[in-house]
Structure 1
Amino acid sequence: MIRRPSRIALAATAAALIVGGASLPAAPVSAAPASALVSSSATGPTSTDIVVHSAAMNRDIPLTVLLPKDRSRPAGVLYLLNGAGGGEDSATWQGKTDVVNFFAQKNAYVVIPMKGAFSYYTDWLKPDEKLGVNKWSTFLGEELPAVIDSTYSTNGRNAIAGISSSATSVLNLAIAHKGLYRTVAAYSGCAATSTQPGQTYVRLVVETRGGGDARNMWGPYNGPLWRQNDPVVNAAGLRGVSLYLSAATGLPGKYDTPQYVPDSATLTDQIVVGGAIEAATRQCTEDLAAKLGRLRIPATVDRVPAGSHSWKYWQDQLHKSWPQIARGIGA
């Protein structure tokens, strides 16, 4: 499925230039590598690990690509973001859900970045001492789609989905890259970033958990970039996108039991801490839904009556939102 020019074609092109007397311009010594596919290796019948070089960040980004069941015809692409850890820890879609098996029977490409911890998948103003250079909006919205579309047989229709902190990211990416995504699914996120609660949640991720400085991301607290990256403030930019939002109440639900979480300490943490976080994201989701309603922008909102901020519920939401995503990308 991967398209690369053959050595014969490259040699023929070079020979033609030499015979014709053309000269090749010398590449600047300091030129940074362009965004491109670096490597690809199959990891299963329907999964491949790839590495894509980001020119904006000047580093290689590992990703997992789940392949469509029917590869004889073009398919749409779902970009699926991990949470705060960015896939750099054990909390990943592949490790915590049935995503590989679920999509093995679907006709879509699923692209999962395995980097981006605590970055909010946005373009940072400046490099961070702890978290480095982050230009994720440029990578996800410009560089990566071009590489995916030139590497695989895609149909030009894209969707994006994310959980927790990346549920904020997917909304901002859709606003920043108008027309790129037909469908956006945000599970258990807090879209507000310019309110005091919203900024607190962002700082908990970037600073408390990640050790970075959120001012390197969006400038001074309460500054204009915090409003510019607030999907509630800028909800009008979501018009025309098929939207799916979900959050539970934070009350213990069916997966907050010893049957699913045998370790008592882990279960307590999931109920107490995960419950509080989910309750906060529920309020955030209601705020965004209300703003969309005032703007007469339609959205599917799944208000789950019970459940914590945890993976089993997000697996359910991916399954529930799939028909809407599939319609958008022609799967």
Structure 2
Amino acid sequence: MPGSPLRRVIASTLGAALAVAMAGVSPAEAASKPSSKVPKTAKAGDGARVTKQAWVTNHEVDLTVKSVALGQTVKVRILVPKAWKTSTTKRFPVLYALHGGRDHYTSWTRSTDIETYAYRYNVMVVMPEGGVNGSYTNWYNYGKYGSPQWENFHNFEVREIVERAYHAGTSRAVMGISSGGQGAITYAERYPGLYRYAAAYSGLLSIRSVGVPALLMFTIVGAGDGTDPFRIWGVPGADDVNWRQHDPLYLIQRLKGTGVYISAGTSGKPGPGDNPKTAPWDIGLLSERVVGATNVTFLQKAQQLGIPVTSHIYGNGRHAWPAWTREMHNAWPKIMAAIGAKRV
């Protein structure tokens, strides 16, 4: 009969299957997608907390974090491994991936194949928001400090949340591109032992070299969000004490015992994957040449101090994703070995 219980069950089942199919996922995938309910433990020691979690796929989740350190709400994306489950008691090695300036937390999944690489290992990848200026520091604010405190957000709030609520372990690595690369090395230096490995792809590894502070100030102003560049590290020269404490080259001795990978171009010419007709005055070529010079200086200093650093200082290559993706591929096995992440 048209209104029989059996017909109603069949119609309901077919309707649900059709809705799922139209959404682009199978019924099995939909059924296995983790709950959107935020764990009660998704909090940091200073009161920062996750207010929302949205699963993009079965192994990719976006967190909305109300941060005390930043005084605002921002996003964090996490890739979880195959064996990850909401109820698991297992802890996983974790890689923190930092984005560059004028970008955001989705940049790694948008511009690289990091999902494919991560899914081959029992590793968790955490990709936090880093701000449009990508400064990766607690802002100086003319000596008054206060918000935003990006360094505290990444190394304390995000870390505590993923370890308390999302099964991240204490075997950690950090990597980044551009200003995120600078942040990766600086974080490993400022918190010795927190990360077993640090990798920087076109990271600015000396922020106090001749001409570099001016380039940084120009880049920050050029972001167009109205930021006063002197609020970040202070006025170059006048506030040199604070600049030194966030300079990867100045802090290099603190990397003893940490695995390090650095890479950058030096020629100011297009490389593989770049448009060969790119003009010589292109900012991506000019900036990479400056960045490459700081990487050469950093490597020389590391060698003088006997600090092991794996490097790939290549000639041609623009300050852009084609080079950074290749370098991520090159560094990946070393990072995974350092944190004990196994292939699955």
Which interval holds the TM-score relative to the shorter structure? 0.7 to 0.9
Match of 1:297 in 2: 307
Distance of 1:204 and 1:112 partners within structure 2: 26
Match of 2:219 in 1: 205
- 1:280 aligned to 2:290? yes
Please report how far the alpha carbon of residue 115 of structure 1 lies from its aligned counterpart in structure 2 after TM superposition. Answer: 4.4
- 1:60 aligned to 2:73? yes
Q: Any stretches of 5+ residues in structure 1 without a counterpart?
A: 7-31, 259-266
Match of 2:260 among 240, 243, 247: 243
Q: CA offsets per residue over residues 298-326 of structure 1, 9 Å max, x none?
A: 00001223211110111111111011110
Contact preservation (8 Å) 2:53, 2:62:
yes
Between 98-107 and 290-299, the greater mean CA deviation after superposition: 98-107
Alpha-carbon spacing, 1:204–1:229, altered in 2? closer, same or farther (3 Å): same
Distance of 1:292 and 1:33 partners within structure 2: 36
Between 275-284 and 201-210, the greater mean CA deviation after superposition: 201-210
Q: Any stretches of 5+ residues in structure 2 without a counterpart?
A: 1-33
Match of 2:94 in 1: 77
For the aligned residues, what is the CA RMSD? Answer: 2.6
- 1:103 aligned to 2:118? yes
- 1:156 aligned to 2:170? yes
Q: Letter of the aligned partner of 1:4 in structure 2?
A: P
Contact preservation (8 Å) 1:76, 1:154:
yes
Please report how far the alpha carbon of residue 188 of structure 1 lies from its aligned counterpart in structure 2 after TM superposition. Answer: 0.6
Match of 2:59 in 1: 46
Q: Letter of the aligned partner of 1:201 in structure 2?
A: L
Q: CA offsets per residue over residues 231-260 of structure 1, 9 Å max, x none?
A: 1111111111100000123322221247xx
Alpha-carbon spacing, 1:251–1:5, altered in 2? closer, same or farther (3 Å): closer
Match of 1:316 in 2: 326
Q: Letter of the aligned partner of 1:299 in structure 2?
A: V
Identity score, percent: 28
Alpha-carbon spacing, 1:299–1:115, altered in 2? closer, same or farther (3 Å): closer
Alpha-carbon spacing, 1:105–1:133, altered in 2? closer, same or farther (3 Å): same
Contact preservation (8 Å) 1:86, 1:113:
no
Q: Give the paired residue count.
A: 293
Contact preservation (8 Å) 2:141, 2:234:
no
Contact preservation (8 Å) 1:270, 1:310:
no
Contact preservation (8 Å) 1:61, 1:115:
no
Please report how far the alpha carbon of residue 106 of structure 1 lies from its aligned counterpart in structure 2 after TM superposition. Answer: 2.2
Structure number with greater Rg is 2
Distance of 1:327 and 1:33 partners within structure 2: 32
Contact preservation (8 Å) 2:100, 2:134:
no
Which 4+ runs in 1 deviate beyond 4 A?
none
Please report how far the alpha carbon of residue 122 of structure 1 lies from its aligned counterpart in structure 2 after TM superposition. Answer: 0.6
